[in-house]
């Protein structure tokens, strides 16, 4: 697929197959339109000048700096990251349709 061309129905069907999605005949044309719109937005983003924007994999450093700045000014955008007790495993497992006592058991859904 190329963002510069119109998305074909075959493209949508291939993406759906790769994502293990089953689209109805009514959903396919909508997905052609939606996927085309998404790729159009990506094409617009690719036109932005990002020369002075440093590459990053995570924003945690930016969030930490923002939190320090907010702490100094009294502003608060993020909640405090506080460890809290988790759910009681035996109680949760007792409500599961199937479990081995430690994990949920679920049916296999991937056939490939």
Residue 3 within a domain = yes
- Reported confidence tier of residue 73, pLDDT bands at 50, 70, 90: low
Total structural domains within the chain: 1
What tokens appear for 111 in the block? 């056939």
Q: What is the mean pLDDT of residues 30-40?
A: 94
Q: What is the mean pLDDT of residues 39-59?
A: 88
Residue 84 within a domain = no
Distance, CA of 5 to CA of 10 (rounded, Å):
13
Q: Which run of H or E residues covers position 45?
A: helix 27-46
What is the three-class DSSP state of 32? helix
- What pTM, to 2 d.p., does this model score? 0.49
pLDDT at 10: 95
Q: Could you tell me the residue range of the domain that residue 46 belongs to?
A: 1-79
Residue 39 within a domain = yes
Residue 107 within a domain = no
Residue 99: how many other CB atoms lie within 10 Å: 15
What is the three-class DSSP state of 48? coil
| Residues paired with residue 99 on neighbouring β-strands, in sequence order | 104
Residue 35 within a domain = yes
Q: Is pLDDT of 42 > 90?
A: yes
Tell the residue number behind the tokens 């599961």, with chain if given.
Answer: 96
- Find the angle CA(52)-CA(56)-CA(59) to the nearest 5 degrees: 110
Residue 47 within a domain = yes
Residue 74 within a domain = yes
Residue 98 within a domain = no
Burial letters for 56-87: b for 16+ Cβ neighbours within 10 Å, e otherwise? eeeeeeeeeeebeeeeeeeeeeeeeeeeeeee
What tokens appear for 78 in the block? 């993020």
């Amino acid at each position: 697929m190329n963002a510069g061309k119109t998305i074909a129905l075959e493209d949508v069907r291939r993406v759906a197959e790769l994502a293990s999605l089953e689209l109805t005949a009514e959903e396919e044309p909508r997905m052609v339109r939606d996927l085309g719109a998404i790729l159009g937005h990506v094409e617009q983003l690719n036109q932005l000048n990002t020369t002075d924007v440093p590459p990053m994999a995570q924003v945690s450093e930016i969030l930490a700096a923002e939190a320090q700045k907010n702490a100094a000014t009294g502003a608060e955008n993020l909640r405090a990251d506080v460890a809290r007790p988790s759910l009681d495993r035996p109680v949760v497992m007792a409500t599961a349709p199937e479990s081995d006592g430690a994990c949920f058991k679920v049916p296999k859904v991937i056939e490939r």
